[in-house]
Amino acid sequence: MFQAIIFDMDGVLFETEDFYYQRRSDFLQSKGISLAHLDPLVFVGARASQIWPLILGDDIENWNIDQLEKEYADYKLAHPTPYGQCVFPETKKVLSVLKERGLSLAVASNTDLSEVNRALTEAGILSYFDVIFSAMDCIACKPHPAVYEKAWTALGTGKSETLVIEDSQLGIAAGIAAGLEVWAIEDKKWGVDQSQAQRKIQSLADLLENLNNRQV
């Protein structure tokens, strides 16, 4: 029986990928950089810093990546994610039920910690989580398992008692590498390879029923 659940943020608690992609595209277009050669899938669950080689290709030596990163960070501050509008409708209810059942809850995201805290605060769900971690504060981002190992350790539950809820290929790989069971919210849009996940669920609302069935 699971005693704790670790949630990814984007694509699990919030529907943000469309906004992220458009914001990134707008910024790069202002620099004369196109994303037309890339499948949007490569951005799902990834940090921009992980995919500059794909974005810039053979032209990468002509760009100052550190400067691009700084300018993109400033652009994001000027165009903040509307988290209150992006939270999935069922998120708060599901988290409330899980807490009523006595489960410990955590967030482990590739997103900056300040943004994670802002997202959870604006959505009115910060209080449901016992611990919150960003992979940006770890040795490496997902698919490295560090952020899940950090969250699991902080929760203090056994690995067999801890469930990860993910959506991206990178996140699923990170959870598996941390030795945790991973369930994926089924992707119907981006073509994400979710084959490593031990189970697929239709939505966050479907989580409760699946937990009930597993414990029967």
Domains and CATH numbers, the chain: 4-15+86-215 (3.40.50.1000), 17-78 (1.10.150.240)
Three-class SS state of 7: strand
Question: What is the reported pLDDT for 75?
Answer: 95
Question: What is the reported pLDDT for 216?
Answer: 39
**pLDDT < 70 regions, the chain:** 45, 48, 215-216
Distances (CA, A) of 99 to 10, 22, 30: 21, 35, 45
φ/ψ of residue 43, rounded to 5: -90, -15
In angstroms, rounded to a whole number, what is the distance separating the alpha carbons of residues 149 and 108? 10
> In the Cβ-directed half-sphere of 24, how many Cα atoms lie within 13 Å?
22
Question: What is the reported pLDDT for 169?
Answer: 94
In angstroms, rounded to a whole number, what is the distance separating the alpha carbons of residues 123 and 117? 10
